[in-house]
């Protein structure tokens, strides 16, 4: 049986790899994600997989190895790249994450509406990885919902 990891999905530039590195405890340099990257605890998905609907089948297949899916929306941009109801495509729990929560605070309600339109249930996690905002709460939630195991 394969190890179940946390799959991180979002548009290009929303902070996926930065979040993945935080979840894996990696503090090295960032590189553009070209393909699916299986980390210690995560699956890092390139933004192109969500920005091209014909790639959805690859996301759904890769999610078979996921314990959870994190769907990210970037509060600083509010690009609406997901199809309505997108979260319903996954069999594992889907968690909504609002990245760059310190930027464009007026866009918070738009980000929440986007997550609701995707079919993601609350709670939503507001994070800013460079500042450390919200990361511990997200980790605790993931650990609790995985049954306390890594």
Bridge partners, 70 (sequence order): 8, 95
Full residue range of the structural domain in which residue 92 is found: 5-145
pLDDT bracket for residue 150 (50, 70, 90): very low
- Determine phi and psi for 46, rounding to 5 degrees: -60, 150
Burial class (CB in 10 A: 0-12, 13-18, 19+), 84: exposed
**In this predicted model, what pLDDT tens digit does every residue of 53-62 receive, in sequence order?**
899 999 999 9
**In this predicted model, what pLDDT tens digit does every residue of 114-134 receive, in sequence order?**
999 999 999 999 999 888 899
**d(C-alpha 140, C-alpha 73), whole Å:** 20
Which CATH number is 20's domain given?
3.40.50.300
Predicted local distance difference test score (pLDDT) of residue 2: 66
Residue 95 forms part of a structural domain: yes
Burial class (CB in 10 A: 0-12, 13-18, 19+), 102: middle
The average pLDDT across 48-75 equals 92
Residue 47 forms part of a structural domain: yes
Residue 108 forms part of a structural domain: yes
Among 43, 41, 38, CA closest to 16: 43
pLDDT bracket for residue 11 (50, 70, 90): very high
Residue 33 forms part of a structural domain: yes
Domain count of the fold of the chain: 1
Residue 29 forms part of a structural domain: yes
pLDDT bracket for residue 5 (50, 70, 90): very high
Say yes or no to pLDDT of 149 above 60: no
**In this predicted model, what pLDDT tens digit does every residue of 75-97 receive, in sequence order?**
999 888 898 999 999 999 999 99
Record the tokens describing residue 107, joined without a space.
């866009």
Predicted local distance difference test score (pLDDT) of residue 147: 59
Residue 150 forms part of a structural domain: no
């Amino acid at each position: 049986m394969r190890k179940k990891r946390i799959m991180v999905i979002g548009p290009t530039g929303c902070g996926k790899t930065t979040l993945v590195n935080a979840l894996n405890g990696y503090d090295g340099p960032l590189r553009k994600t070209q393909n699916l990257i299986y980390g210690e605890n995560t699956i890092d998905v390139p933004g192109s997989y969500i920005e091209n609907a014909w790639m959805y089948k690859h996301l759904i297949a890769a999610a078979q190895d996921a314990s959870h899916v994190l769907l990210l929306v970037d509060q600083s941009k509010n690009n609406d790249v997901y199809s309505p109801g997108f979260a319903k495509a996954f069999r594992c729990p889907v968690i909504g994450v609002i990245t760059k929560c310190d930027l464009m605070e007026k866009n918070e309600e738009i980000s929440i509406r986007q997550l609701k339109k995707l079919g993601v249930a609350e709670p939503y996690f507001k994070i800013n990885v460079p500042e450390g905002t919200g990361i511990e709460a997200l980790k605790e939630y993931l650990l609790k919902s995985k049954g306390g195991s890594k």
